[in-house]
Structure 1
């Protein structure tokens, strides 16, 4: 599964982009993704302190949407 992120720079809030976190398991259950994503999001935020996560969602690897 993937976590799709919409992120903006803290210093320039109008400068935004999308990113993704690849999770090491494949599950079709949204509940499992939501539970495990909290740790992945916290780790990502700690590694990228200059960015702010504005939105995120889980997605299957083979079905990436055009927009978050």
Structure 2
């Protein structure tokens, strides 16, 4: 699975948010090219949160269990 990871802060508390994508439908290049648009949509839906950075990566199921 591919994921778009958004690091955003609210009142000094920062969190990581993840949107998962099926690699059969979205490539790493597509994630990187359309990431800014997706982050802008996320920002509109989460008023008050300030996006610090974002990145595309490969989702690890092992990390998700921790």
**Both structures adopt the same fold (TM-score exceeding 0.5):** yes
Q: Give the strand-richer structure, 1 or 2.
A: 2
TM-score normalised to the size of structure 1? 0.68
Structure 1: runs of 5 or more not aligned: none
Cα pair 1:2 1:21 within 8 Å, conserved: yes
| Structure 2 CA distance for partners of 1:16 and 1:64, relative to 1, 3 Å | farther
Deviation at 1:64, TM superposition (A): 8.0
Structure 2: runs of 5 or more not aligned: none
TM-score normalised to the size of structure 2? 0.69
Q: Give the helix-richer structure, 1 or 2.
A: 2
How many residues are paired up? 60
Which residue pairs with 1:26 in the alignment? 26
